[in-house]
Structure 1
């Protein structure tokens, strides 16, 4: 590839429009992005002079003329008529027009870079968003690892390092942590990083099934083992995990009289279906998780000590979100990107909203944060997710500023700024009243945890509350 063709290829891959004029204003080079903006074939445009667009009224000003006259770089906005749109709408773009001089100091060419204003705004918001995220984390957002794990904090980096190490062996792992911290995600990470990743990860929540069904799900049953049994019998989860990994979530909820049978399966790597007379060998790796202190349950004789010691060969504790503040903003950004893509939205957080997100304790941990971001993406009115968009989702709402002034002093200007933004964005009174209704009903439902009690407190009917709950995704 010769040098000229090399540089032409580079310019042709710019996302901004690029064109080059000769000293008379004739087009001598245009890149693909500029052709797309004008919707013209390249061989046609290269026969044009820049003044042709001015003569037809397709542009409001010829920036190149200013460059020719003043012999300097000119940066201006230019309105271009979109002849393909209904009503011939004008599109505003920023043009950076730079002169290229010959050895006599005369303009030989003009190099112009063209960027539509809506694209410029989008890039500005992206840059602002990245800057705000890095201000909280002290570095750019950390990469999201397999399974959606964000590890910016030291606590989560330790968790991932331990999980990656134990993934190479078959030792039993007990994952502990509060509800919503991501125990199943870490279990998936261990499985995906292990030699058993080609086989399935079989998951069962021990708290989701009554005792009689739990035993049948774990160990399976033979034909006619009990009333309602499938005619051909059924393999249990231990069998389904043969060659792979079995993950017992909320194992603290496992009935005591079933714990002995689970212990035997773990120690002997054999299982016996309900109603069967023979045992069957199974090869599985066991992961388990609990949101309660198993040692305390052992002391209360609600959990077998021998099973506990067998499960907790490698303990991994996932810290709650309030103990790993460095993960909050990167996680929020990760979920924002995910739900924007899922719902075809284009949303960004304001700095004040990020302050609120970072200051909140998140008692429901990552699960609560994820649900919060989804609601924010779905329910916020403008492109920017403002404090008022999220104030009904977090209770109580901390002051949106980390400045040393009082919460009320910091919050009032934020509200005024929000109202100003709403006026500028054209938010109608009806839209604002809907937002207030959503926040008030949402607060009542969270407070009373019951639609009838919420309706009574708000002096309306339960059916009215349910309609609004459905309307506002509460």
Structure 2
């Protein structure tokens, strides 16, 4: 008999009635007897001394001569008047090892659960699709929820039913990046939630994890921190700005270059001219430069050249001596040039400065000194000048409304801030920053629907960042639900700006284009925005929910570069 014909995953042996081995399969010879010798015609009891054909057990254990344990089943056969035995040997070592591994893993899982449950911070874990797979006891205590309410449920369902209306893990999946939020749980505490994506070895999203920390005890401090304050000094108000570098939300390449340039010139004395439409953030650039400069410990003094009456500008700029004019206060008064010594003097709306005062400003800049009104003693001037305007100064120079020499004196370093409609990739990050701010300020948990964010990208934002910020505050205050949708956005937009603001280049009212053209325009904007805010094409395709090859074709179709 050829043993190759019977090569089972078990030992198979045929013996005579004296247990002499007449046949064995390869498994018995190689795996059990280790091929140490020729086993034919040898007694099976040489290898297994405790073979017992009188046993009533269907399956019993026997020991090989090296003390390894096997399980055996036997049958008695009678052929041509002779007795034979058939033995089947099973190796359960692998099964035992698997059982041990299962026990060990179960023990580890228990220990991990116990360790996570000892934490004071809450832990919330989902799979790649947002299904809740684990929460620790601390999360249940902080949120006031039960495991039955959330385990096995997706964060999107929990958000839709207002169980977790500001789900951090949902935002992590949507952005494929770390996210932090402040959550007011509807039956629990006010918590800081920090979520992160977890990727597998192929770079695909595998899980999300969020850590939840109770900040109720710090609520008073949080309110003080998040209380809205005027970021900039208005109408000659003097304010000390922190020397801490401000947090900046930028994805647009032009804006990144502007901030890189701002860092380069922060610690030099050159005058700076900031140009851009109303609301683009010129004031923020000025305070940013001051905040990271070696003058950050000095004052940041701002004056709006269009807000102060012309006959008061000179006294506001340079101050006056006692008795200089009727109504002059006793002892005289310092001007803003003196107050700004050691710091920064920010001249907003410089294009509206009276022509006659421009001469004195130029003289002060060139000589680094000036005279108070009614004074004879010179006053040294040691402040950096940053000027800003939303008008075309070159055009004013041509019209003889702005001095050419002052223009060139101010325009040593210039920044041209692009309008928000030309930096669409910054709209959604800014929107999230503002809604987080107003959620904290008003104790709410509002969030934008995807469709609402898409409309944010379509709208032109003629008032730029200022309009976006004010709009989001309005939406947070006006919504009756946790979510902010397109209907609420368009209602508030029309109520405040009127239908006229939605015409022209605005995509809401583009009657001149066909439906397909408008869909193509919209698709192009979404793809361009996603590409700009993604690390690579693969991540962009994943966020868009399309194949990489499809993204490549659409990128070529719309002539997009990244």
Query: What TM-score, normalized by structure 2, do the two folds share?
Result: 0.51
CA pair 124-216 structure 1, distance change in 2 beyond 3 A: closer
Q: Partners in 2 of 1:388 and 1:38 — Cα distance?
A: 32
Aligned to 1:347: 446
Residue of structure 1 aligned with 2:168, choices 126, 130, 133: 126
* Cα distance in 2 for residues equivalent to 1:247 and 1:186: 11
Separation (CA, whole Å) in 2 of partners of 1:162 and 1:392: 40
**Alignment RMSD, CA only?**
3.5
Provide the C-alpha distance between the structure 1 equivalents of 2:430 and 2:420, rounded to a whole number of angstroms: 10
- CA 1:314–1:218 in structure 2 vs 1: closer, same or farther (change >3 Å)? same
Deviation at 1:393, TM superposition (A): 3.0
In the other structure, the counterpart of 2:279 is 180
5 Å matches for 1:384-403?
Answer: 384-394=483-493, 395-396=501-502, 398=507
* Counterpart-to-counterpart distance in 2, 1:338 and 1:349: 14
Q: CA deviation at 1:312?
A: 0.4
Counterpart position of 1:12: 118
The 5-angstrom pairing of residues 101-116 of structure 1 reads none
How do 1:279-290 residues align onto structure 2 when only pairs under 5 Å count? 279-290=378-389
Find the aligned partners of 1:375 and 1:237 in 2 and give their Cα distance: 35
1:292 aligns with 2:391: yes
Deviations 1:148-185 (A, max 9, x none): 53211011101111111110211111000011111010
Q: Deviations over 1:229-267 (max 9, x none)?
A: 222211111001101111101100000000010011111
Shift, 1:362, TM fit: 0.7
TM-superposed CA distance for 1:133, in Å, is 5.5
Distance 2:248 2:492 in 1: 24
User: 1:183-262 residue pairs with structure 2 within 5 A?
Assistant: 183-262=282-361
What does residue range 61-460 of structure 1 map to in structure 2 within 5 Å?
78=148, 92-94=149-151, 121-122=163-164, 125-132=167-174, 146-147=245-246, 149-394=248-493, 395-396=501-502, 398=507
Q: How far is the alpha carbon of 1:343 from its aligned partner?
A: 1.1
In 1, the alpha carbon distance for the partners of 2:174 and 2:391 equals: 36
Given the superposition, is the C-alpha separation of residues 285 and 31 from structure 1 closer, same or farther in structure 2, using an over 3 Å criterion? same
CA contact (8 A) 1:256 1:303 kept: yes
* 1:216 to 1:131, Cα distance in 2 relative to 1, 3 A: farther
Please report how far the alpha carbon of residue 388 of structure 1 lies from its aligned counterpart in structure 2 after TM superposition: 1.4
* CA positional deviation for 1:405: 5.7
Counterpart in the other structure of 2:6: none
Shift of 1:297: 0.7
Q: Residues 399, 134 of structure 1: CA spacing in aligned structure 2 closer, same or farther, 3 A cutoff?
A: farther
Whole-Å separation in 2 of the counterparts to 1:10 and 1:206: 60
Give unmatched runs, 5+ long, in structure 2: 1-107, 126-135, 178-195, 197-243, 494-500, 520-562
Structure having the larger proportion of residues in helix:
1
Aligned partner of 1:459 in structure 2 is none
8 Å contact 1:17–1:31 — kept in the other structure?
A: no
SS at match of 2:330: coil
Q: 1:132 to 1:278 in 2, by over 3 A?
A: same
Question: In structure 1, how many angstroms separate the alpha carbons of the residues matched to 2:141 and 2:488?
Answer: 40
**Residue 126 and residue 34 in structure 1: after superposition, are their counterparts in 2 closer, same or farther (change >3 A)?**
closer
Larger RCO, structure (CA 8 Å, separation 6 or more): 1
- Where 2:122 maps in the other structure, the secondary structure is coil
How many residue pairs end up in the alignment? 318
Shift of 1:12: 2.1
Residues of 2 paired with 1:251 and 1:221: CA distance?
22
- Residue 52 of structure 1 corresponds to none
Aligned residues of 1:17 and 1:32 also touching (Cα < 8 A):
no
Structure 1 pair 372–133 and aligned structure 2 pair: CA distance change class (3 A): farther
Segment drifting more, 123-132 vs 184-193: 123-132
Which runs of structure 1 show a deviation greater than 3 angstroms over 4 or more consecutive aligned residues?
Answer: 3-11, 30-39, 92-96, 116-121, 123-135, 145-149, 397-400, 403-408
Structure 1, unaligned stretches of length 5 or more? 19-29, 40-58, 60-76, 79-91, 97-115, 409-474
Q: Is the Cα–Cα contact under 8 Å of residues 369 and 381 in structure 2 kept in the other structure? A: yes
The Cα shift of 1:286 comes to 0.8
8 Å Cα contact 2:439/2:476 also seen in 1: yes
Contact 1:94 1:117 in 2 (8 A): no
Could you tell me the TM-score, scaled by structure 1's length? 0.60
